[in-house]
Amino acid sequence: MWYLKGVILIIRGGCHIIRVLLNIILSLRNILI
């Protein structure tokens, strides 16, 4: 069952990275406009 924990961690990490990228893109758009 340990691999399930690893998969969940990877999915959570991916979601966090995507969220951070979205925040950066939004802030860049605000600076450009």
Nearest to 26 by CA among 11, 12, 18, 15: 18
Q: What is the pLDDT of residue 2?
A: 82
Share of the chain above pLDDT 90, in %: 42
Give the pTM. Answer: 0.55
Average pLDDT of the residues in 2-24:
90
Q: Is the model's pLDDT at 15 over the cut of 90?
A: no
Expressed as residue numbers, the domain containing 17 is 1-33
Q: What is the pLDDT of residue 18?
A: 93
- Banded model confidence at residue 1, pLDDT cuts 50, 70, 90: confident
Round to whole Å and give the CA distance between 20 and 2: 27
Structural domains counted in the chain: 1
